[in-house]
Structure 1
């Protein structure tokens, strides 16, 4: 677009988007929508991915249910007529490859005549950079900007300031516990009684951040797969983790009995990219490590 615009944003594909007014009616992929909700922008509705069903996954909902945000079902089979009735001003998705939106065909947005923002959640960005990008989008959509860490009056803190401070506190707590315990942590996603996906820590921005904070993450070793190494549950047990981060999403299966005697704590690989959501996750992990 050219000329003066009331709203403009360049997404993580390098696509320059604009409109003659700030978008107010936001429809988003559930992970992006939950993050925006934390950041002060409540979507009209959210949609899921190919992993999702007709009901919103409790592991992914964040504050969406409390905010009464409508869930539309998986993005690839959305009713375009319903989308048109919802009159979106903008659609927000994520991208893992920096090229394509993850959960919605871009042609849908084109047919609706609506800009589609795709923000990266892949490992080409660090977790702090990902959080900054979602924060920037939220501010462009009307959310209050983050402010210096020491506002003039504590009772004047915006939610963004409070959640950023909470994230820093949660990281400090996790760093302290990790240094004291040194417990080996394995992240995984159950895929049935005979199969499990073992996370490669550096392939996941949030796991890489945990390593920076001193958490001793277990690498599953050589083999195929950029993000996961797929094996059986005995392979997971052979890695001798002291604590397992298990995928808590609805499509993943619970840890196998081969890991009996190991501590567990839930991990959502699609945690909303907001300071508040990661503060909750880091705090929960610190409690699990220190138990």
Structure 2
């Protein structure tokens, strides 16, 4: 009886494109981009299915799943391949995606969703928004969906305080994020375009800019130039997604080996679930690396 009353309550939410979606009851049946689905999972909202981006294959990328249990949420492959028929079979009340430009859903085949008659909610995760704002919007969405209770913010606040205190005495040790492109090239993250890297800077962590060059979010260059640009970093955040080149394939790259010998190397998911627990874990890992600098890549 209580569940029936909850389903009758309905929900309404205006997303970061200014589009308002409504549904008949809470919790809704959700299909979500895997990053958004992993965030909702932390709030107790269980998507019936998730999908990847154009970078993803037919199998779910483990780096993107967060705490989401793939045995309980079907993986549909890339969002561009989702058909109206698939959505009709799943009977979702809403599709949840992210947006980088505030205009369009990132990973979704929106024409298929329109044909299926399912509302879409897209929340901003672009570099222009503060990390706390991004997390707050996902918390609001989870609440609208009838989440049992928001995750305790204290874990994230404690991780922020720890890192802030540590960074104040960390000297010149800096944090650099990168995505290996193979033996010939590497993509160096421009910290001002990544909310979590800007958040590190706000907490006092030094996040060196990789220097001029093509690319808005990344500077793509060769390894020798990367060594020259960021060779003094104390921590390297290495893209661990399936579309990034594995670090094991860089064994014959001298510049990478020099970087790895002098810095702590941490796996990094540039698409962390926008929820407090996931980011608390990220901040704690960075703090641990700054506390004990040294090679970790082998």
Q: Same fold (TM over 0.5)?
A: yes
Segment drifting more, 190-199 vs 5-14:
5-14
* Structure 1 contact 167–276 (Cα < 8 Å) conserved: yes
- Cα deviation, residue 79, structure 1: 4.0
* Structure 1 contact 42–67 (Cα < 8 Å) conserved: no
1:162-173 paired onto structure 2 within 5 Å: 164-173=153-162
Q: 1:64 aligns with which of 52, 68, 74?
A: 68
- Cα deviation, residue 66, structure 1: 6.3
- Cα deviation, residue 21, structure 1: 3.1
Find the residue that maps to 1:83 and give its secondary structure.
helix
* Structure 1 contact 246–254 (Cα < 8 Å) conserved: no
Per-residue Cα deviation, 1:131-190 (whole angstroms, up to 9, x for no partner): 0000000000011354xxxxxxxxxxxxx12xx111111111111222222312111111
2:276 corresponds to which residue? 275
**Separation in 2, partners of 1:89, 1:268:** 29
Unpaired runs of at least 5, structure 1: 147-159
Per-residue Cα deviation, 1:7-34 (whole angstroms, up to 9, x for no partner): 2110000112223434521000000000
- Cα deviation, residue 64, structure 1: 1.4
2:180 corresponds to which residue? 190
TM-score by length of 1: 0.89
Do residues 43 (structure 1) and 32 (structure 2) align?
no
Computed over aligned residues only, the root mean square deviation of the Cα atoms, in angstroms, reads 1.5
Q: 1:212 aligns with which of 177, 184, 202?
A: 202
2:103 corresponds to which residue? 99
2:288 corresponds to which residue? 287
1:248 corresponds to which residue? 240
Q: 1:221 aligns with which of 202, 211, 214?
A: 211
Find the residue that maps to 1:282 and give its secondary structure.
helix
Aligned length: 272
Segment drifting more, 27-36 vs 100-109:
100-109
